[in-house]
Amino acid sequence: MIDLSHYVVAGEILGTSDKVEDYFDKLLERSAGMHARVSSGEWIQVDIGVDGDHPMLEHFTRWWRKGMVH
């Protein structure tokens, strides 16, 4: 089970990079399940807003899809 929000907070990730994507790909390949919450580089869980307009939601959505494929 993986919760990427912890990695985002611990790494103070405020977006993404090739290094982050490579690292998360390896983690997602080895995970059997995921906790789905959106975090920022400062908070473990953030409000994504009524319209889902938090800037990190795009990244988490992509990571969750990759995890489900694996």
Residue 54: predicted pLDDT: 92
Contact criterion met (CB below 8 Å) for 54 and 46: yes
Q: Model-level pTM?
A: 0.88
| Ordered per-residue pLDDT tens for the chain, 70 residues | 999 999 999 988 888 899 999 999 999 999 999 999 999 989 999 999 888 899 999 999 999 999 999 8
If you search the block for the tokens 């409000």, which residue do you land on?
47
